[in-house]
Chains A and B, each alone.
Chain A
């Protein structure tokens, strides 16, 4: 079967007033249908850039990419869970979750039913009529995730969705995310800063080099599914996290030196 996502030699150069910024060079990746791929890399290495290119929100400078359409032509190809949440403060939680469906002219009754269902699944049913300003950061992120899932895209692109959360909420959300993903088995590209998170969630972990970003190494994660936090107590988990850290360490140092220079 053909891969769901293909990116071939993708390169991105930002033209700025102060000159060119090379964000991505020669980035090639294939993601299978139903695969959960995590991308880790030092800050500023171009992770968000790659995701925005996949989402069609940023033109690329070289290379090519494609997301294979599914059987249903009405289904959106991708939806993004943004690093900054990006849920609309002027819409209620329910309206936010129903947003994608509304843009596709799904009737109000149907989209409300679907959105309510997703709110139920992320535990926010009671907050349907609240505005984002009235809920916590963790809840906002769940709204953002529900908004993407309610739209039922072919692939889900997630940019550090749990990055801003405190450690406890984050741990709970990781399990919740796993539970939902087990139910839907969507193709996911998931960006994170946390190696632990990438190993816990992913089928593969893609490690990127520091600026300009490209793939340094890809680690398959052979931990059994369904996973829970018990998985994190196994030697296999610990060994893999350590191996990725060793590979990443050098890149982080390089990124930090570059920022100081």
Chain B
């Protein structure tokens, strides 16, 4: 038995003994924080030992297992801490109950908001028979998820496209950059929620979709513009020289050199902007909306149905992950050279 194997067994043994002892002696209630910390350290040590033994061709699978496995482990720990009475189930409902709440939200109609999380999916077969796919789309359109997603998409596109445009100009033209840079940086740090009241006043219907989408667009715009500018400015001048030397005209220079060279940084900006769009819209839905995942979450907080509130938070996180994945997928398509 070599050194590494002995260590591995030692760590696993430590893990079993630690948790066994803490449970047997009833130490979890007072020392749960220490227990969690030591557990975490031991799991890291075990994972490192295991990682060393994984053959190179299974490395990807191993890394994926770590990335997915650890969050699951966290959920299990949460569940156990609640069941063991360490965490208060009223304020920290266990994942199983949140899951049940999520299911309940999906299959039951809320009369107050006149919709549900996914918009009465139980009507899908019926609508499909009578109206076809447009009917199904209409069903989804009335849901909380779509209310939020629609605002995110609309605001993101309305903000990001001009953002890329202005960022490009600021990156390429020094005069414009010098004139706008300070203002942009100042507005960029402003919490966009703080300007929501003003934005509401601009619109004919302050309580409609307009102001909500506008604030999302504003948040996305500045982030994307600033990132695009940085992306363009950081282009190695030797690429510009090469473009010139091989006879690129202005448009060709933009299309073949500047745009692709800045694209990775632009995408980093888009990714940030998409996340920010979600954060902003959920915050706005908390205070000023009759629909949307943010509204739903806050509503269940107000009536103290915490498991449904957590379900709402979970949906927000899931949306964030899905949107980011989607954007990264598009990014990989647009930038095939970035794959390692």
Q: Which residues of A contact B (CB under 8 A)?
A: 52, 55-57, 76, 78-80, 82, 84, 86-91, 99-100, 102-104, 131-133, 147, 151
Contact = CB atoms under 8 A, between A and B. Distances in A.
Contact of A76 (B247, B257, B260): B247
B337 A86 contact: no
B247 to A, nearest CB: 4
B248 interface: yes
Contact of B263 (A82, A90, A147): A90
A103 B335 contact: no
Nearest to A87: B242
A79 B336 contact: no
Contacts of A103: 246-249, 252, 256
A90 B239 CA distance: 11
B337 A133 contact: yes
Contacts of A86: 236, 238-239, 241-242
A57 B241 CA distance: 7
B245 A131 contact: no
Nearest to A85: B238
Closest 3 CB pairs of A and B: A90-B260, A131-B337, A100-B246
Interface string B303-340: 00000000000000000000000000000000111001
B337 A151 contact: no
Interface string B228-272: 000000001011011011111100100011001101000000000
Contacts of A133: 337, 340
Given A103-B252, A131-B336, A88 B246 contact: no
B260 A80 contact: no
A90 B335 contact: yes
B257 A88 contact: yes
A223 to B, nearest CB: 31
B272 to A, nearest CB: 22
B238 to A, nearest CB: 4
Given A88-B260, A91-B337, 9 more contacts: A79-B246, A82-B242, A86-B241, A86-B242, A88-B256, A90-B263, A90-B335, A99-B256, A103-B252
22 contacts: A52-B241, A57-B245, A76-B247, A80-B245, A84-B236, A86-B236, A86-B242, A88-B239, A88-B242, A88-B261, A90-B263, A90-B337, A91-B260, A99-B246, A99-B256, A100-B247, A102-B256, A103-B249, A103-B256, A133-B337, A133-B340, A151-B246
A132 B337 CA distance: 8
A82 B242 CA distance: 8
Determine which residue in B242, B252, B263 has the highest number of CB atoms from chain A within 10 A of its CB, and name it.
B242
Interface in B104-141: none
Interface SS majority for chain B: helix
Contacts, number: 59
A139 to B, nearest CB: 15
A148 B294 CA distance: 58
Interface of B: 236, 238-239, 241-242, 244-249, 252, 256-257, 260-261, 263, 335-337, 340
A56 B245 CA distance: 8
Nearest to A84: B238
A76 B246 CA distance: 8
Determine which residue in B238, B247, B252, B340 has the highest number of CB atoms from chain A within 10 A of its CB, and name it.
B247
Nearest to B247: A103
Contacts of B260: 88, 90-91
A82 B246 contact: no
Determine which residue in B245, B248, B260, B337 has the highest number of CB atoms from chain A within 10 A of its CB, and name it.
B245
A55 B246 CA distance: 10
A86 B249 CA distance: 18
A82 B336 CA distance: 25
A90 B261 contact: yes
B247 A104 contact: yes
A104 to B, nearest CB: 6
Contacts of A91: 256, 260, 337
B242 to A, nearest CB: 4
B337 to A, nearest CB: 4
A4 to B, nearest CB: 18
Nearest to B334: A90
B245 A78 contact: yes
B248 A82 contact: no
A146 to B, nearest CB: 13
B241 to A, nearest CB: 5
Contacts of B336: 131
Contacts of A82: 238, 241-242
A199 to B, nearest CB: 28
Given A88-B257, A104-B247, A80 B337 contact: no
A89 B246 contact: no
B297 to A, nearest CB: 42
A195 to B, nearest CB: 26
Contacts of B245: 55-57, 78-80
Contacts of A151: 246
A90 B241 CA distance: 16
A104 B252 CA distance: 10
A55 to B, nearest CB: 6
B264 to A, nearest CB: 9
A57 B246 contact: no
Contacts of A132: 337
A100 B247 CA distance: 7
Contacts of A90: 260-261, 263, 335, 337
